[in-house]
Amino acid sequence: MKTKDKMKKLPTGTQEYLELRLYVAGQTPKSLTAFSNLKKICEDNLKGQYSIEIIDLLENPQLAQGDQIFAIPTLVRKVPLPIRKIIGDLSDKEKVLVGLDIRTNQKKMKQKSKINEQKSKNQS
């Protein structure tokens, strides 16, 4: 029963639409890494359910104040509320998913990664 309820609440594909902002300061290696990591995570888990806006603070320094940015790169989830922030080059997928509060796909990811792990074990 319980599992069924959960499935009802969060069926796959009904993930809320995410509005993301990635703050960078010029095209530094860290920023580029962060962007490619983010793109991949979103494509794998949120296909069609997200938008990414990149804000370069070198061009628009006045925008840093509004979202209280001090570290670079910083990923901000503007929608849905509450606002969440992730600092760094987003190299830890799990942390990014937790940080963005993407629950449904997290399970899938875990299953996937388990399968992958088994596969790789079998291969070796």
- Contact residues for another protein (CB under 8 A)? 23, 25, 28, 30, 33-34, 37, 57-58, 61-62, 64-65, 68-74, 83-92, 95-96, 98-99
Burial class (CB in 10 A: 0-12, 13-18, 19+), 5: exposed
| Nearest distance in Å: CB 37, another protein | 8
Alpha-carbon distances of 66 from 19, 61, 87, rounded to whole Å: 16, 10, 16
Shortest reach from residue 123's CB to another protein, in Å: 28
Alpha-carbon distance of 52 to 65, in angstroms, equals 19
* Closest CB to another protein among residues 62, 122: 62
Q: Residue 22 gets which letter from DSSP?
A: E
Closer of 13 and 29 to another protein (Cβ) = 29
Smallest separation, CB 27 to another protein (Å): 12
